[in-house]
Amino acid sequence: MPELPAADIRRAVRLALEEDLGQGDVTTSALFPSAVPARARIVAQQPLVVAGMAAAVQTFLAVDASLRLAVLKKDGAQALNRETLLRIEGDGRSILMAERVALNFLQQLSGIATLTQRFCQAVEGRVAILDTRKTIPGWRSIQKWAVALGGGTNHRRSLADGILIKDNHLKLLRHKQTVLQSCTLARQRGPGGMPVIVEAESLKEVAQAVEGQADIILLDNMTPAMVKKAIKFIDGRALVEVSGGITLDNVRAMAAAKPDRISIGALTHSAPAATLTLELERAVQSRQKRR
């Protein structure tokens, strides 16, 4: 199980509640001037990989520490359609106030974990599936956690985590053998021992990357046929990463070309939110309690 980014979750929950509840809940306050005993459950409306349960739990407890929660599906668990993930009991007003924020975390993060799992299943373990830095600002750590829950591998978490020379870096160099020059400069001036990754959009650039002794060559927006040619030329002299335009429709073909890893921005920037619902009802108190 990937490590829980607890501090980042706490920060995200705090900001989300400030955004949604900072000025109060005027609807709930107008309708219910006193406590309303209630119970609720969060239910999956599709098969999914659960991610964001820790954030949902923190959300409910931050709104009302007296709420009673029963987690039935932990982060990383598989859930079937109509399975209950979480039960909540207590003041219905508190449940209403926390509902949307808790569901937002679960829907967004479970969507990422579920899509990641689909990509991992599609390649049948033949190649590592990586995420990218294409994340919601402030959510990078928790989005990457969701990727890991779905079976993916985390790529760089920040610009300090690795030398990755991309097309816009190369455009600024303005040199006939830009890829080769970039590898040389990265070796000379970059932090010692840090792998050099360089993006290549053609077989000519692949040849320069090999000559420059890049540790990882990122084949960008190439067809599976071009990827095969590039891998044959590289011949084990560098690890090979494939990226750009990867979908569930073409990822098997890319994996069949036998790169070492495939990076997919869509895992975090385009994953469809998982469909979940919170079902709420007023709790019936026993006669003895009513007395």
Q: Which two tokens stand for residue 280?
A: 């709420």
pTM of the model: 0.94
Q: What is the pLDDT of residue 1?
A: 82
CA distances, 237 to each of 9, 92, 210, 241 (Å): 40, 62, 7, 13
Identify whether 73 is a catalytic site residue: no
Q: Are 97 and 135 in contact (CB under 8 A)?
A: no
Which residue, among 52, 59, 83, 57, has the nearest Cα to 70 in the 3D structure?
Answer: 57
Identify whether 74 is a catalytic site residue: no
Q: Sign of the C-alpha dihedral, residues 137, 138, 140, 142?
A: negative
CA distances, 160 to each of 141, 143, 198, 228 (Å): 15, 18, 15, 31
Q: Sign of the C-alpha dihedral, residues 182, 195, 123, 111?
A: negative
CA distances, 74 to each of 11, 55, 120, 184, 256 (Å): 20, 11, 20, 47, 34
Identify whether 134 is a catalytic site residue: yes
Residue 267 banded pLDDT, cuts 50, 70, 90: very high
Q: For helices 140-149 and 92-123, what crossing angle results, to 10°?
A: 60
- For residues 46, 47, 48 and 54, what is the CA-based torsion angle, rounded to 10 degrees? 70
- DSSP H or E run through 276: strand 276-282
The active-site residue, picked from 74, 166, 204, 252, is 166
Q: What is the pLDDT of residue 257?
A: 95
The active-site residue, picked from 10, 41, 100, 133, is 100
Supply the CATH classification number for the domain 124-269.
3.20.20.70
Q: Would you list the domain boundaries of the chain?
A: 6-118+273-290, 124-269
Residue 283 banded pLDDT, cuts 50, 70, 90: very high
Q: Is the pLDDT of residue 290 over 60?
A: no
- Residue 4 makes CB contacts below 8 A (sequence gap 6+) with 54, 75, 145
Average pLDDT, rounded, for the chain? 95
- For residues 156, 198, 181 and 211, what is the CA-based torsion angle, rounded to 10 degrees? 130
The active-site residue, picked from 199, 205, 215, 241, is 199
Average pLDDT for residues 207-230, to the nearest whole number? 95
- Residue 169 makes CB contacts below 8 A (sequence gap 6+) with 182
pLDDT: is 173 or 60 the higher one?
A: 60
Identify whether 258 is a catalytic site residue: no
Determine the Cα–Cα distance for residues 199 and 153; give it in Å rounded to an integer.
19
Find the radius of gyration of the CA atoms of the chain: 24
The active-site residue, picked from 134, 157, 228, 237, is 134
Does the fold of domain 124-269 match that of domain 6-118+273-290? no
Identify whether 39 is a catalytic site residue: no
Q: Spelled out in words, what is the top-level CATH class assigned to the domain 6-118+273-290?
A: alpha beta
Q: What is the DSSP string of 138-161?
A: T-HHHHHHHHHHTT-B---SSTTS
Angle, CA of 50, 278 and 265, to the nearest 5° = 40
Q: What is the pLDDT of residue 193?
A: 83
Q: pLDDT by residue (tens digit) across 146-201?
A: 999 999 999 999 999 889 999 999 888 877 778 999 999 998 898 888 899 999 99
Determine the Cα–Cα distance for residues 85 and 274; give it in Å rounded to an integer.
13
Out of 37-51, 188-202, 230-244, 256-270, least confident range: 188-202
